[in-house]
Homo-oligomer: A and B are copies of this chain.
Amino acid sequence: MHQLRSKLFNKNKAKSLLVVLDGVGGIPRNNKTELQVAKTKNLNKLVKLSETGCHIPIKPGLTPGSGSAHLALFGYDPMDFDIGRGVLEALGLDIKITKKDIAIRGNFATIQKNGARKIITDRRAGRISTVENNRIVTKLSKKIKSVDSVKISFKSGLDHRFVCKLSFPKNINQLQCMIKETDPQIDGEQPFEPDNLNKESAKVSKILKKLLILITKILEDEKQANFVLLRGFSTYPNIPTFKELYSIKSASLTTYPMYKGISKLVGMESLNLDSNNLLGQIKALQKNYDNYDFFYLHIKKTDSYGEDGNFNKKVKVIEDFDKYIPSILKMNFDTITITGDHSTPSMMKSHSWHPVPTLIYSKNAFSNLSKSFDEVECLKGNMQIFEAKNLLTYIFAHSNCLGKFGA
């Protein structure tokens, strides 16, 4: 579909904004969802002028991770494309990943040695501070430069998290990177070895095992972070960019590393924010309006509070966003799309598969089918339930930049 969409695409001057309220969809608590409880007078006005529906992120009943849910929103079939978690984290930390690299999510952890046995006593090393993390990563970086012919680098994330990058002399692909994650996911267990899960990955596994020995020796004298757990071994995914597919300039306005990472992967430029919040995002949008064709604005906290099971704070984030709608409308976008990447019902404290309310505001909208922006009213719209990978086709159609299919 992204190839067909690319073929039919005719660039024009349309400006599009895609707002993703992460995990915005919910299920009812006392008969009402977070969106239904939220007081959103601006959204309620906007939805009546918009085309509406609910998207299914992947397929009916499937709960997505953030990466695949976003790929779908960006028009890629999440069944065909996959971003490894390591690559996502790396891009989010501004680490450049090429086709020669393997990116790995690392946790600092605490182990207790019991003879030859190592028992994990804290998978997060007591959630050491980011300052501590920086100190340890600097130490590792100084002492480990390479293993055999493979360059090794480290970068701190928040708290106990870091990214480790392996840079090979030649291109490496997903098949050569099927490695068992070393994190057993609970305390009190032994870590796993980074074994290869297929033949092609034998060489990578060997490097990783040598690397682990080096790291463990260097961390020996640390009290808390005396070990690392490695997950999400992944290579650079082969995803055609927005620029390649549509020759448009696209930009992202994100406050969290991972979403910045995803947007970079599809070729969006990540815009600098004066303040790392919605106000900063809106200001950057205004400032850069003339320079791009397509903007992606990501709001994280709806998902965070959903995951926490904090219904009321999730409502509050939606209400806060509502206040910025007049400023957004003033900018005069040709299409404004508001949706989530998936649902994160506070009632479930986790991502879910439930359909996600979606509105597309444009002069071509079949309007007035939904009276408010929520899970129930959006079902009444004429997009009904659709797969998220089709959203971009709708957005481009509303922007009048898709040619006719067939004679």
A contacts, CB < 8 Å to B: 1, 4, 8, 27-28, 31, 54, 58-69, 71, 78, 82-85, 88, 232, 345, 347-348, 351-355, 364-369, 375-376, 379-380, 382-387, 390, 393-397, 402-407
Report which of B78, B348, B355, B394 forms a contact with A405, defined as CB distance below 8 A. Answer: B78
A402 and B28 form a contact (CB under 8 A)? no
Which B residues are CB-close (under 8 A) to A64? 404-406
B368 and A404 form a contact (CB under 8 A)? no
Q: Known: A366-B354, A407-B68. Is A402-B62 also a contact (CB below 8 A)? A: yes
Chain B min CB distance to A365 (Å): 7
Q: Give the CA-CA distance A67 to B405 in the complex, in Å.
A: 9
Query: Across the two chains, which residue of chain B brings its CB closest to A343?
Result: B366
Which B residues are CB-close (under 8 A) to A379? 369, 380, 382, 384
A397 and B63 form a contact (CB under 8 A)? yes
Chain B min CB distance to A389 (Å): 9
Which B residues are CB-close (under 8 A) to A390? 59-61
26 interchain pairs, CB-CB under 8 A = A1-B59, A8-B62, A27-B364, A28-B366, A54-B382, A58-B405, A60-B387, A61-B393, A61-B394, A61-B396, A63-B403, A63-B404, A64-B405, A64-B406, A65-B404, A65-B406, A82-B406, A88-B407, A232-B407, A345-B364, A351-B404, A354-B382, A355-B382, A366-B375, A369-B379, A379-B384
Which B residues are CB-close (under 8 A) to A4? 62
Which B residues are CB-close (under 8 A) to A393? 59-62
B84 and A407 form a contact (CB under 8 A)? yes
Which B residues are CB-close (under 8 A) to A395? 61
Query: Across the two chains, which residue of chain B brings its CB closest to A79?
Result: B4
Q: Give the CA-CA distance A347 to B387 in the complex, in Å.
A: 27
Which B residues are CB-close (under 8 A) to A54? 382
Report which of B61, B65, B347, B364 forms a contact with A402, defined as CB distance below 8 A. Answer: B61
Chain B min CB distance to A197 (Å): 14
What are the 9 A-B residue pairs with the smallest beta carbon separation, nearest first? Answer: A68-B406, A61-B393, A60-B390, A85-B407, A61-B394, A61-B397, A67-B407, A65-B406, A65-B407
Query: Across the two chains, which residue of chain B brings its CB closest to A88?
Result: B407
Identical copies in the complex: 2
Q: Known: A31-B368, A54-B382, A366-B27. Is A407-B82 also a contact (CB below 8 A)? A: yes
B406 and A58 form a contact (CB under 8 A)? yes
Q: Give the CA-CA distance A407 to B258 in the complex, in Å.
A: 11
Query: Across the two chains, which residue of chain B brings its CB closest to A234?
Result: B407
Which B residues are CB-close (under 8 A) to A351? 404
Which B residues are CB-close (under 8 A) to A60? 383, 386-387, 390, 393-394
Which B residues are CB-close (under 8 A) to A367? 27-28, 31
Given contacts A345-B364, A369-B376, 8 further A-B contacts (CB under 8 A): A28-B367, A62-B393, A62-B402, A64-B404, A83-B407, A85-B407, A379-B382, A379-B384
Q: Known: A60-B390, A65-B404, A65-B407. Is A364-B382 also a contact (CB below 8 A)? A: no
Report which of B8, B364, B382 forms a contact with A348, defined as CB distance below 8 A. Answer: B364
Query: Across the two chains, which residue of chain B brings its CB closest to A351?
Result: B404
Q: Give the CA-CA distance A66 to B407 in the complex, in Å.
A: 6
Interface centre among A82, A84, A232, A379 (most CB of B within 10 A): A379
Which B residues are CB-close (under 8 A) to A397? 61-63, 352-353
